[in-house]
Amino acid sequence: MTPASAMSSCLKLALLATTLAAPWRCALADPWVPAAGDGEVKPMIHLFEGNRAFPAGGFTSATVPASRQTSTQYRLTGVQGIGGGFSIEYDLRGARLRDLANVHHVPTPRVSSGLEDEEIGLNYGLMQRPAFEAYTTFNVLIPAGRSKAVPALGTGRWAAEPDFQAGLAGGWGYVTLLAGPRVFLDGNATQLRATLDLSVRVTHRISVIGELFAVKTLKQGAVIAPGAQGELYNLIRPAVGVSLQVTPRLRPFLLYEVNVAGEGLHAGSQVELGIALHY
């Protein structure tokens, strides 16, 4: 499957999620969980490159030489209000991964293209105020990515991810914290994942944005090998960038991310370019 067809499949899934939500329109909700019929969608592209890896056997910031890995990931995230304090969210992904490794001392490229594992969930607002919000989410990870490809595009396993999020907002911007476990249903792994998002308005249209993502594998069936694909890894990844408010409903953004410590995956940097569309 080509990246273009993968992105087309992601768009179809997003359209299906929005269509399913449409019949549930009702009264306006709150600023955090979208009102019924309202929502946000973020098409984006991620460009990653790295030729070093965090070694297996322990979480560390030290790296060792590894195969040269590049990836182009097409990602579509969004949230759709369905009323009653509920909303549907989705994270749809497709990618082209390229790994240049030495096979019998000969540089050999290995390429995989297609869908990655997809995620869809249901949110419920516990407390929704103009300056504070708290809600829970129950996500399901769908193993759409080929796990036997080299490099792999997914885990090949279903997972459940119950999350809790809290946030503060004001004229200065907003800060949110999202945290929760990801439990693979075959019992082979359990992870604790957390994301801290920050947006600080510096002018009427420009905001400085930042993110800190961390994941810790609490239980696993075996030692995580360097460069392992399919979400089985330990990682700390900060990011910094900028967001531009072109209109109240259209906000392009740019982020630069660096893997600073981890286990079981490549170290490297990533550029994320996207557009937030509010409707």
Q: What is the pLDDT of residue 107?
A: 81
Question: Helix, strand or coil for residue 105?
Answer: coil
CATH of the domain at 33: 2.40.160.40
pLDDT in tens, 62-112: 999 998 999 999 999 999 999 999 999 999 999 999 998 877 778 889 999
Q: Domain range spanning residue 194?
A: 3-278
pLDDT of residue 10: 46
Tell me the two tokens of residue 6.
């993968």
pLDDT digits (tens, 9 = 90+) for 169-223: 999 999 999 999 999 888 778 899 999 999 999 999 999 999 999 999 886 666 5
Cα 147–chain centre separation? 18
The pLDDT, as a whole number, for residue 243 is 97
Does residue 151 have a cis peptide bond before it, meaning omega lies within 30 degrees of 0?
Answer: yes
The percentage of the chain sitting over the pLDDT mark of 70, rounded to a whole number, equals 84
135, 32 Cβ separation under 8 angstroms: yes
DSSP 8-state symbol, 151: S
Look-up: residue for tokens 């914290």? Answer: 177
Alpha helices by DSSP H, the chain: 3-21
Residues 159-169 have a mean pLDDT of: 95
How many domains are contained in the chain?
Answer: 1
Q: Kindly report the length of the chain.
A: 279
> What pLDDT is stored for residue 22 in this prediction?
35
pLDDT at 11 over 50: no
- Tell me the average pLDDT across 41-61: 92
The answer to whether residue 15 scores a pLDDT higher than 50 is no
Q: Which of 165, 157, 152 is nearest to 140 (CA)?
A: 157
Q: For residue 118, is pLDDT > 50? A: yes
Tell me the mean pLDDT in the region 11-33: 41
- In the chain, the percentage of residues whose pLDDT exceeds 90 is 65
Choice between 47 and 57, residue whose per-residue pLDDT is larger? 47
Of the candidates 215, 213, 234, the residue with the CA atom closest to the CA atom of residue 224: 234
